[in-house]
Chain A
Amino acid sequence: MSATGERTAPLEADVDGSREPTGLLETVGAAPLELVRDLRGLRRTLVTTLRYTFRGRRDWRAIAEQMYAIGNRSVFFLSVTMGFIGMIMIFQSGVQTKKIVPDLTLLGANYIELLVRDFAASIGAMMLATRVGAGIAAEIGSMVVTEQTDALRMCAADPIEYLVVPRFVASVLMTTVLVIWACFIAMMAGMLTANTIFDVNYWTFLNFSLVDTGDVVVCFAKCLAYGAAIPIVSAHRGLHTFGGSEGVGWATTNAVVHSSLAVIVLNFFISSAGWLIFGS
């Protein structure tokens, strides 16, 4: 009963603005204290989820449903945003490269390397944090507010096992698939832009020579980390919803912000590790 026991503790600090800090010390200390409390709660959610994922029984039907909700329903949104970011990046870098060197043959190779190593996974995951994170928090938050999770507990079922685990498994799988799709879309959009604006041949652009093992490993490490972080952070926010429709709104907002932040911070650490390990 990890979730029930702590539901009273973070109440005052969680609602933004419900209780203004008074003293100087309290103002300074409130943020770090809340961060530590949040991180501990997150770790607990992660550990419980992992335990149920590996030890508990897997509900394949629920996982398939979540895979549809997380994966298939994000394809359109992800394609639109990644297509536009691909066009923007090629346009900007093409204009800048032309100022220094007139030759744009290596534009595609460098772009594809950057896409595989970072942008496909990170921008794609930011978009998924927005869509999937908000969705998970809104759904679980509504269940908490309408006391459906309490009903689950009454039936001796842990909400984490029933609600979080399918979303976790589905998100880890679908994030990887969607990042590959995002990479493809951004590559196509970049290729078309390079051809129409800078007259770069399609086959010159599609140059994978700079993509090495390190880039691909970093990409998959990012997929795995983001795919795990987004549902955990959002579900944690959702499970700690309280106070009617306003609470659901707050939980959803926090889920978007915290999971986007998690993506950025994880990106920093994984990219640094990748640079230090592979050095390329």
Chain B
Amino acid sequence: MTATAESLWTALPARMGAALVSIADQTGGIGVLAGRIVRRLFPPRIDRYELVRNLHKMGVRSVGIVAITAAFTGAIMVIQAAPLVTRFNAKEVVGWGAGFATLREVGPLLIALMFSGRVGANNTAELGTMVVTEQIDALRALAIDPISYLVLPRVLSMIGMLFVLTIVGNCVAIGGSMLAAKALLDVDPRSFYNSLVTLLDEWDFITGLIKSVGFGAMIAVTSCHFGLSVRGGAPGVGRAVNAAVVAAASGIFILDYFSTYLLG
């Protein structure tokens, strides 16, 4: 009897403690992996074939999904701004509003989330499958360092490709909001463009790109960490992918807050 009563009292703190310990464990693991990756960069010894293959797989094959996401996001920004615009009768600043929100925040953020879902999760699954089928151990047995052979090209191509995809996505999103502004608010694309160009400067665009580099690094290191620490066969791979996307999404939001604060 006392045992059950005690377990009821201790169950909640024990669980919260276990959750905290596991978060600390994963964060520490991600940090250690990031340190190892940085150390492998001096001097850089990257497998060129693996790098090009990853650049193609992660970049070129994500263009479609990024473009669709960006186009809808741009349109949604205008739909959400529409009541405000009609309330204050300020149709001429809709280009500025949508452009500012898209370039600074929503564009990089949503593109990074989709990239994390598509490329990051896929990367975790791939590395996890290699771990489960003991291919990583085989690499080690051949005296090939898995981090510089497998992880480094992936990390570099994820950071580079998210940067490029954010540029593409931003342009598509602006196009999407231009169309939505014409259709919903009857704002001429030319006046939309004018308010965009006169009220925004390069810095608004660059801020988003700086963020995208941070997001890319975050997605890359998290997905590689969760992929390399898979345990327990096919269900383990599924769990690792799940944990990786959740960790990457939390990391992206936390990073976004601090970068917004720092970049102003």
Chain A binder among B35-43, B114-122, B149-157: B114-122
Q: How far is the CA of A76 from the CA of B80 in the complex (A)?
A: 28
Please name the residue on chain B nearest to A272 by beta carbon: B79
Instruction: Known A-B contacts: A249-B237, A251-B238. Give 17 more (CB < 8 A).
Output: A80-B253, A92-B104, A110-B84, A114-B80, A131-B249, A134-B241, A138-B235, A138-B241, A141-B238, A245-B237, A246-B126, A248-B241, A249-B122, A257-B114, A261-B68, A271-B80, A272-B79
Contacts of B122 in A (CB 8 A): 16, 249-250, 253
Interface residues of B in 203-254 (CB under 8 A from A): 233-239, 241-242, 245-246, 249-250, 253-254
A21 at the interface (CB under 8 A from B): no
Please pick, from A114, A122, A247, A248, the residue contacting B235 in the complex, using a CB distance under 8 A. A248
* A88 and B234 contact, CB distance less than 8 A: no
* B105 and A256 contact, CB distance less than 8 A: no
List 23 A-B pairs, Cβ < 8 Å: A17-B61, A80-B254, A81-B253, A84-B253, A87-B257, A110-B84, A126-B113, A130-B117, A134-B121, A142-B234, A245-B128, A245-B132, A247-B234, A248-B238, A248-B241, A252-B121, A256-B121, A257-B121, A260-B69, A267-B72, A271-B79, A271-B80, A275-B82
Task: Write the nearest CB–CB distance from A44 to chain B, whole angstroms.
Answer: 23
Task: Write the nearest CB–CB distance from A221 to chain B, whole angstroms.
Answer: 14
Task: Write the nearest CB–CB distance from B2 to chain A, whole angstroms.
Answer: 27
Please name the residue on chain A nearest to B124 by beta carbon: A249
B19 at the interface (CB under 8 A from A): yes
Please name the residue on chain B nearest to A247 by beta carbon: B234
Q: How far is the CA of A138 from the CA of B240 in the complex (A)?
A: 9
* B121 and A253 contact, CB distance less than 8 A: yes
Q: How far is the CA of A251 from the CA of B257 in the complex (A)?
A: 31
Contacts of A260 in B (CB 8 A): 69, 113-114, 117
Contacts of A247 in B (CB 8 A): 234
Interface residues of A in 238-277 (CB under 8 A from B): 244-253, 256-257, 260-261, 264-265, 267-268, 271-272, 275
Contacts of A272 in B (CB 8 A): 79, 184
A180 at the interface (CB under 8 A from B): no
Contacts of B72 in A (CB 8 A): 264-265, 267-268
Task: Write the nearest CB–CB distance from B232 to chain A, whole angstroms.
Answer: 10
A96 at the interface (CB under 8 A from B): yes
* B125 and A246 contact, CB distance less than 8 A: yes
Please pick, from B61, B69, B75, B235, the residue contacting A261 in the complex, using a CB distance under 8 A. B69
Residue positions of B touching A, CB distance < 8 A = 19, 57, 61, 64-65, 68-69, 72-73, 75-76, 79-80, 82-84, 100-101, 104-105, 110, 113-114, 116-118, 121-122, 124-126, 128-129, 132-133, 184, 233-239, 241-242, 245-246, 249-250, 253-254, 256-257, 260-261, 264
* A138 and B239 contact, CB distance less than 8 A: yes
Residue positions of A touching B, CB distance < 8 A = 16-17, 31, 76-77, 80-81, 84-85, 87-89, 91-92, 95-96, 110, 113-114, 117-118, 122, 126-127, 130-131, 134-135, 137-139, 141-142, 145-146, 244-253, 256-257, 260-261, 264-265, 267-268, 271-272, 275, 280
Task: Write the nearest CB–CB distance from A97 to chain B, whole angstroms.
Answer: 11
* B125 and A268 contact, CB distance less than 8 A: no
Most B CB contacts (10 A, CB to CB) among A31, A122, A252 go to A252
Please pick, from B57, B68, B69, B260, the residue contacting A92 in the complex, using a CB distance under 8 A. B260
Please name the residue on chain B nearest to A268 by beta carbon: B72
Contacts of B75 in A (CB 8 A): 268
Contacts of B246 in A (CB 8 A): 77, 130-131, 134
* A84 and B257 contact, CB distance less than 8 A: yes
Q: How far is the CA of A249 from the CA of B242 in the complex (A)?
A: 9
